[in-house]
Structure formats: structure tokens, C-alpha cells
Amino acid sequence: MAEKHIILLPKADYWDWVRAARRYVLRFGVNLTPDPVTAARYLYPGQTVTVVNAPGGYPNQGNIVQWFGYYYPEANLDVVEVTNVAGLEEIFELRIQHGDRYGTQTPATGTFRLRWPTDYADVSQPFGVHPEVYNQYGLPGHEGVDIRAPMGANVYACADGEVYRVHDSGEGDAYGRHIRIRHKEGYRTVYAHLMRVFVSEGQHVIAGQRIGAADSTGQSEGSHLHLTLKKDGATAANLTHFPRDIIDPTPFLLFPGQEDANRPVEVYPWSPGRCLVGLNARDDGTFTQADFDVVAQARLEAVKIEENTTIQDINRLKQVNSALFIMARLHYILPQEKVEPAAWLARIQPDMQRLYQVGIRYFEVHKSPNLQSEGWNTSWHSGGGFGRWWLDVCNALRDRFPDAKLGFPGISPGGQIDGWRLDAGVFLEQADEAIMSADWVGVNCYWSSDQEMGAERGGGYYRFMRRRYPEKLLFLTEFSNVNELENLRVKGRQYVDYYQQIKDYPGVGAAFANVMSSRNAYGKQRWRREDGTLTHVVGEVGDRDF
């Protein structure tokens, strides 16, 4: 399979840069663009953006590497620092001579690389941050990289080498139970906070070999892998400002997808084999003829209904499209007081029983639980509190409905809003145990511009969730362009692009846009008006060629 690879070139004197890259493009079969958003917008696992970083090359973005780090932190960047066109041609010629697409094996850059050490492509704490915390230990900042690894998750060796130390106890060391491996060229790696160790001192290991299981032993809060990289003599040679030969592992790490093809690729068990084109039904659970017209004319493949939708309306949906995938959200508006799982179950179980009897099996249990309006600060006060509440609910539902596929609900993405929303990242970290037990995980994605649509902080939020939960089936339980000023025809074309973008993305079952219709809410997110007329969004989605 051809590698997914694009080169970002400065827009000024673009065709001069193109000529400098011509032989490299022909040799490796690479795409070109002068637009950073185009380069980043359709990122998939394993795609690399070669950024030609020339002085003043990207005036609208400023520091282009920092721009990618903010808007597209998951991007695999191959940064080529040059001052002029001739310099780019020289670097690319060297790569061609060595057959070295990304410049990882040329004499100038060396050959040592670190394979990703977990199954979770998510960094929770980068190298060098929080000097105010680490100064008390004589360190100028965090001395490694913290990588997501739930309790018991596999930990792999980053490179070939010899195990020279095993501390097989959770006590007596800040790293807790940990492994140290010596590699070529004087490099050494440390794998800390482990639950179990699967190797012994003196043992030779190879890159990608399972060496341990993750935990939070030692001075750690929450299960993760702490990875430290050292190079003999680095401190004395002034190659690092850290003591004890500690260096930054980030430039050496190969983000998952950059490694060779020997590591098996996970196959996600979603029978249609691609992401279905879906829509959230009318928000009060009812249907009119206009709503069925939306389903037909938009050629929808999936609809998410509310728990109070009638059997008659479900049957009519199936008449419109006999193959329609129907998911139900189990939800009712919580009062501003604590609601125990038993009380919630008593309210919701009759509706679930009715839906289950007609064959619906996929259920989103609650919605946006990090919002104050949906129970945060009343029924629960943290992600962990909701996780325990959610597990109590689901354990009871599984006893009664054994074939039901219960999903952890999509959360409201974004940072802390006091009195309104708990930070999404904090909430996920706290609720991790419950999420790992879910049959599937919901994801909510919103944006208000083309740039935000492709950014991981906006429409691309599912990419972050895929890295965080690589083994989980995902559903985009809500997505939309929330810009009230956006032309609806343009918005419809944008949705087609979005559906196309995620159609073959691994492990996403369906994407449900907001919203079919509503009496009072959602503004220009509605696909049909209250007088029954359909918006341009319906026609644009219906005219798609897939």
C-alpha cells in the first residue's frame, strides 16, 4: 500500500519550491500543497506531512511547527529546515541517494529511533514541562514522556537492546516497578510505573517485544507509562540541560503508523465495514412526515432516536430504508438535584424494554455528562463519579438486556467553563475505567470554520479518541457546524466532505449529524424547518456520490 504523505511548501515562489522537490516527488510518489489546512485536514493514522520550514514561509500561521502542534497535535511531522530553494533540493537529493523518504537514515540525522511503547497513541505529559514541580528534584522539567497506558495495558520495548536493570517492586523507587534497557550508540530507555515485568536482567529484547504491563506504581497518579531516554555522556558534552544524561525522547519517537509494517494492525469489529451516514432524529422523539422525507431525500444510512420514539415511527423509518441502522439514546433531563442510578433506571427501563423488543440493540446511555445541565455537580461531581454511576446503570441493564450494546456517551469537548462544563480531558481521565468497560464509545465533534473542521480540537476530535481508545468501536454521536452565520448549502457540502473523510476511518460505526429537526433549539443546525420545508443540507447530502 502506498504511504500517505504530503509535502507542505511555502506559498511565496511556490513553483520554484515545486521544481526543487520534483525528483523527490517522482521518487517517492508524494503529494504537494502550499496550504497548511489542506496538508492537515485529511489526516489518517500513518499519514506524514513533510513541512518545508523556510524563514517567513507561512505568514498566516507564523511558527508553522507550533501551529501544527496546536491544531493538529496528532500529525506526523517531517520538518525540513531550509533557508532557500537550493537548500531544499540538496536535502532531497541526499534522501533520494539513501532511499530515505523521511531523512531518518542519512548520516546527518543518525539511525536510532524509538518505536511507540504502548497501544495508545496519546501523550498525557510531554518532556520538559512543569519546571515548578520538578525543580525540587534538581530537574529543569519533566524528565520523560508520559504515554497513555490503562492498568494492565501492554508495554513494548522501543528498540533492540539488553535489559540491564529490573526493579521488580512497586516500592523503594520513584519510578516504582520499572525496566531499564541499554541500546546501541549509548542510548538507554527506562519504562516506569509498571504492574508486571515480563523480562529479566541480562535478557536481549527486540523492538516491539512486550516487556511489561502498565500501572501507577511509585510516585504516580493514575495508570500510564513514563518513558525516559538517556544517552551516555550527553550532560558532560552539553547535549542536554538535564542532569544524569537525560535527553528528550520526542524527536526519536515514531508515532504509531510511522513504524514498519511488521506490527499487526488491529481490525475493528463493525460489520458494515465503513462509517454510516447518520443523523440525530428530532430532539423531542417525535416524527412528522417532513422528518421521514429528510431520511429519504438525504439517503440516510443511520438514525439515532430518542428513548420515547414510538414503535409506529420506528416501523415507518424501516419502510423508508429497510437497511437503516437505528441507535437509541437513553436520556431524560435531570432535575437540579441528585438522581441515583436506581431512580434513573426506573424511569428509563420501560422505554428500553419497548425498543429492545423491536430489535434495537445499540444504546447511548445518557448524554454530555460533563455538563452541569446533564448532571455534573448534582448527580456526580467528577468523571469518576459519573463512571461509577454509569457502571451501576449498565450492570443493571445488562442483567435484563443481555444482547444490548451499551455505549459510553459522547462528552462535551473543550476546556473548563466554571459552573457549566468540566474539562473534557480531565473528565475522560477520571472516567477511564468505565469507558474501558463500555461496548462502544460516543464522540461529539463540533466546529465553526473550515480550519476547525479538520482540527483535532474541533471536527477531528474523533482522531484523539481513536488514539486514546484504539480497541474501542466509536460512534460520532453528535457532529455539526455550529456557526449560525454559515450558508446552509455550504454547510451541506461541508458535511458531505466530512462524511467522506471518515467513511473509511478505522473503527467508526456511524456519524450522526445534528439535527433532523427541533421546535425551539439548535438554530441553523436543523435539517428541516418547522413549516416542513427541507434545507439545502438535505439536498447536498442526498446528492453525494458514495
Q: In what order do the strands lie in the sheet with 76-81?
A: 31-33, 5-8, 48-53, 76-81
> Mind listing the pLDDT tens digit for each residue in 411-454?
999 999 998 999 999 999 899 989 999 999 999 999 998 888 98
pLDDT for position 104? 62
Which amino acid, 105? Q
CATH topology of domain 115-254: Glucose Permease (Domain IIA) (2.70.70)
User: What is the spatial distance between Cα 43 and Cα 496, in angstroms, rounded to a whole number?
Assistant: 17
Query: Is the separation of the CB atoms in 228 and 192 below 8 Å?
Result: yes
> 544, 546, 462, 458: which is closest to 507 by C-alpha?
462
Segment holding 98, helix H or strand E: helix 85-98
pLDDT for position 260? 41
pLDDT for position 237? 86
One DSSP character per residue, 126-187 reads: -TT--HHHHGGGT-SS--SEEEE--TT-EEE-SSSEEEEEEE-SSSSSTT-SEEEEE-GGGE
Cα dihedral 295, 300, 305, 311, rounded to 10, equals 60
One DSSP character per residue, 511-534 reads: EEES-S--SSS-GGG-SB-TTSPB
Domain segments of the chain: what residues? Answer: 5-109, 115-254
pLDDT for position 265? 34
- Is the peptide bond prior to 277 cis by the omega test (within 30 degrees of 0)? no
pLDDT for position 42? 56
3-state SS, 32-90, equals EECCHHHHHHCCCCCCEEEEEECCCCCCCCCCHHHHHHHHCCCCEEEEEECCCHHHHHH
User: What is the spatial distance between Cα 72 and Cα 75, in angstroms, rounded to a whole number?
Assistant: 6
User: What is the spatial distance between Cα 187 and Cα 484, in angstroms, rounded to a whole number?
Assistant: 54
Question: Which letter does DSSP use for residue 469 in this model?
Answer: -
Task: Give the bridge partners for 325, in sequence order.
Answer: 302
- Dump strand ranges (E) for 360-493: 362-365, 405-408, 440-447, 474-481
Radius of gyration of the chain (CA): 25
Which amino acid, 163? V
One DSSP character per residue, 426-462 reads: HHHHHTHHHHHHSSEEEEEEEESSHHHHHSTTTTTHH
| Assigned architecture for domain 5-109 | 3-Layer(aba) Sandwich (3.40)
Which amino acid, 445? C
Q: Could you say which residues of the chain have pLDDT below 50?
A: 1-2, 106-110, 257-268, 270
Q: Is 270 helix (H, G, I), strand (E, B) or coil?
A: coil
Grid coordinates in use for 495? 458535511
User: What is the spatial distance between Cα 279 and Cα 510, in angstroms, rounded to a whole number?
Assistant: 9
Q: Is 188 helix (H, G, I), strand (E, B) or coil?
A: strand
pTM for this one? 0.72
User: What is the spatial distance between Cα 546 and Cα 539, in angstroms, rounded to a whole number?
Assistant: 14
pLDDT for position 106? 47
5-109 and 115-254 in the same fold:
no
What is the DSSP pairing of strand 5-8 with strand 302-306?
A: unpaired
3-state SS, 344-377, equals HHHHHHHHHHHHHHCCCCEEEECCCCCEHHHCEC
> 180, 219, 186, 217: which is closest to 201 by C-alpha?
180
Cβ within 8 Å of residue 9, ≥6 positions away: 17, 18, 21, 32, 33, 34, 52
Cβ within 8 Å of residue 120, ≥6 positions away: 147, 148, 149, 150, 153, 467, 468, 469, 470
408 backbone dihedrals φ, ψ, rounded to 5°:
-75, 130
